[in-house]
């Protein structure tokens, strides 16, 4: 079924819908190996089933920081080139959930401070999206948050090379949601990509942004 693109939401309506639709209930799929997150793409879902059998679950949390400018933006990072996982890729602030973290939300806030120096006093967490699974065994639980403008970042060069903002209107416009593909063990799997101003936003980051669009922007 083909769905037509909805009218663009203004900032007030976006945040109002987010508060009405999201909660802080941790989905069982974050840690239960018998529950495999689904993506809607058969090839990707098959890959996640294989990964779930072969690798231990790696629970992770990310922050989706929507900066409440008159025209809102999403704050993204470019991971350091020397990292073992996803080196150089565009990402959200976030990482593995530590035993000391009180919740996935706290893990996302901690990581945002450690990676880019985003102070919690500017962050208003709104709720969780669905769990997003990756081919590295990560189960990612995204926390959507409203971020007040006026913050100053302190980039941690051990984890992040850069931080930048992308207009929310661009990321929430399905016209900009390209579908690319690659092979995994003889199966073709599809994934989203949202190139913007020289930045190649793809993989888990683009997939989570697509989840945000479907959860908040669609009727």
Report yes or no on 2 lying in a domain. no
Quote the pLDDT of residue 2. Answer: 41
Helical ranges in 55-185 per DSSP H: 104-116, 168-171
Please indicate, yes or no, if residue 17 is contained in any of the structural domains: no
Asked if pLDDT for residue 185 goes beyond 80, the answer is no
Q: Across the chain, what does the average pLDDT equal?
A: 91
Q: What is the mean pLDDT of residues 190-204?
A: 94
What's the mean pLDDT in 139-165?
A: 96
User: Does 12 reside within a domain?
Assistant: no
Report the domain count for the chain.
1
Q: Is residue 212 part of a domain?
A: yes
> Residues 195, 199, 201, 203: is their CA dihedral positive or negative?
positive
Let me know if residue 88 belongs to a domain.
Answer: yes
Q: Is residue 21 part of a domain?
A: no
Statement: residue 102 has pLDDT above 60 = yes
Q: Do the domain assignments include residue 24?
A: no
Q: 3-state class of 215 per DSSP?
A: helix
Alpha helices in the chain (DSSP H): 11-21, 42-54, 104-116, 168-171, 203-212
Residues 6+ apart with CB under 8 A from 102: none
Of the two residues 75 and 86, the one the predictor is more confident about is 75
What separation in angstroms does the CA of 215 have from each of 46, 66, 210, 218? 23, 15, 9, 6
Instruction: Tell me, yes or no, whether 70 lies in a domain.
Output: yes
The three-class DSSP label of residue 54 is helix
Q: What is the pTM of this model?
A: 0.93
Domain that holds residue 187: 29-217
What pLDDT was estimated at residue 61?
98
Q: CATH number of the domain at 48, please.
A: 3.90.79.10
């Amino acid at each position: 079924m083909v769905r037509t693109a909805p009218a663009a939401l203004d900032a007030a309506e976006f945040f109002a819908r987010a508060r009405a639709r999201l909660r802080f209930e941790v989905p069982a799929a974050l840690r239960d190996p018998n529950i495999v997150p689904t993506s809607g793409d058969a090839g990707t879902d098959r890959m996640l089933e294989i990964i779930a059998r072969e690798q231990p679950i790696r629970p992770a949390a990310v922050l989706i920081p929507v900066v409440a400018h008159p025209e809102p933006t999403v704050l993204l990072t470019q991971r350091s080139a020397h990292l073992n996982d996803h080196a150089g890729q565009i990402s959200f602030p976030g990482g593995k959930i530590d035993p000391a973290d009180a919740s996935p939300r706290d893990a996302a806030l901690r990581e945002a401070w450690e990676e880019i120096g985003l102070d919690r006093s500017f962050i208003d967490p709104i709720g969780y999206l669905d769990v997003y699974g990756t081919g590295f065994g990560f189960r990612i639980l995204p926390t959507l948050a409203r971020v007040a403008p006026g913050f100053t970042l302190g980039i941690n060069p051990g984890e992040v090379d850069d931080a930048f903002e992308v207009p929310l209107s661009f990321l929430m416009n399905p016209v900009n949601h390209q579908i690319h593909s690659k092979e995994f063990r003889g199966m073709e799997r599809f994934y989203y990509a949202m190139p913007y101003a020289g930045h190649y936003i793809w993989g888990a980051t683009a997939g989570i942004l697509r989840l945000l669009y479907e959860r908040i922007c669609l009727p």
